[in-house]
Amino acid sequence: MRIGDVEVLPVFDGTGREVAAEVLSRPGVPDAWACHADQLDPEGVLHLPLGGFLVRTGERVVLVDAGVGGINNDKYSGGGFLDSLRAHGVAPEDVTDVLFTHLHFDHVGWATRKGEVVFPNATYRVHAADWAHFVEAPDAEPGAVRKLGPLASRLAPFDTDGPLAPGVDARHTPGHTPGSTVYVLSGRGERALLLGDIVHSVVELAEPDWQAVFDVDPVAARAVRNAIADEVADTADLVVGAHFPGLRFGRVVTTTGGRAFQAI
């Protein structure tokens, strides 16, 4: 798909599986998923595609997020990221930039492997607040430090909104994590927003008061999610979450019942 002169393509790594009612719901409403059963399997499990997005812009070859890596357990399984990337004609050494929406494990899996940087010619970019939280804090989780530490010499953190590549702008959206970032692709009057995990399911674009257990600050996460959903509603702007079905883009529209997501 093209947004102006910017090409954006999904890169698939694997799938996550979570019991929906345990991770995402409306507080105080135990049967909140009853109206959205079509988003779940018969056991009430929410299936979450894992991966990222390839963005080609000018002479830059950009990855937004890097999947879950080689994890394979009863909830999360990856392994397909590099093959999916090669199917788009891109080898690891071709990548010029890796942009992280945030630093949760299922978004940084192919950043490094066994202590080695996977994309050897890339500059790695993330909001400084997330690097401080996940890597530099005294109570940082050791696994995250081991995974991300090798990136330090290649890291170019940012702490302001603005362009990172032609037609690619960062927009700080704290709540899910301290440095959670939306990347806005634009050109020729068109826009598409890579939402990361400010939205885990399309349901959250329809339900303004739901929250996810993964959010560091649920109140801030809900506020920024609703602000962006209202901003793009009934416009030509496209949006996609990091775990939307098929990593497909769509539009937010208003209906008699509120908002809804319509995939394209």
Confidence band for 6, pLDDT divided at 50, 70 and 90? very high
Q: What is the pLDDT of residue 257?
A: 82
The sign one gets for the Cα dihedral 204, 207, 213, 216 is positive
Report percent pLDDT > 70 for the chain.
100
Q: Mean pLDDT across the stretch 18-33?
A: 94
Alpha helices, H only, the chain: 20-23, 81-87, 128-131, 142-148, 203-206, 218-232
Cβ pair 122, 97 in contact under 8 A: yes
Q: How many Å is the maximal CA-CA distance in the chain?
A: 52
Distance between CA atoms of 252 and 33, rounded to whole angstroms? Answer: 20
Confidence band for 131, pLDDT divided at 50, 70 and 90? very high
For 102-127, what is each residue's pLDDT tens digit?
999 999 999 999 999 999 999 999 99
Q: Mean pLDDT across the stretch 39-48?
A: 97
Cβ neighbors of 43 (< 8 A, separation 6 or more) are 19
Question: How much is the mean pLDDT over the chain?
Answer: 97
Q: What is the pLDDT of residue 221?
A: 98
